[in-house]
Amino acid sequence: MAEHFLTKSQIDLDQCLPWGGGLALDAHAVLQAAISARLSPEVAALFAEPLISRGNDAAPASVAWYTVHSGEGRPLAELDDAGQARVAAILGRHLTALRDLLADGEDGLLIGAALHLAGSSRGDIWVVNGQPVLINWGMLPSGMARDAATR
């Protein structure tokens, strides 16, 4: 498990994309292994590790997000323009590499699901020690239909 707490998000489980009989979020270990093996652990670290609390009558569902990167995390939007540009360049390289895996019959569907972000008000792209980290991945923005035809 990633050791460094990043942030916590309240979620609606209906926003979460399905994969393999569960949620894409539940498949973080599979996602990490596939990306690490085919690309690199650095690219795999783009996806924060979720610790999901499915909620109950008294508390909403939430996700605590963890990363392998040590240091203070903050939303990309809080960086100055130069900092945002540096992180955006790294993110762009990672996303370009991931794009090549989307057509893969074994891992492409999971990677495609993971690349959907919920669009939270604070931002789903965070930065830790100059490295981009995605939170709220594997989810659709509130109100968006989960079926592929309407996406």
DSSP state of 59: S
pLDDT tens for 110-150 read: 999 999 999 988 899 999 999 999 999 999 998 765 555 55
151: pLDDT strictly greater than 80:
no
CA atoms within 13 A on the CB side of 110: 22
DSSP state of 70: -
- The predicted pLDDT at position 106 comes to 86
pLDDT tens for 19-45 read: 999 999 999 999 999 999 999 999 999
Domain count, the chain: 1
Q: What is the Cα 16 distance to its own chain's centre?
A: 11
pLDDT tens for 94-112 read: 999 999 999 998 899 999 9
What range does the domain containing 58 cover? 4-150
91 near 133, Cβ under 8 Å?
Answer: no
pLDDT tens for 41-95 read: 999 999 999 999 987 877 889 999 999 999 999 999 999 999 999 999 999 999 9
Q: Which run of H or of E encompasses 62?
A: strand 62-67
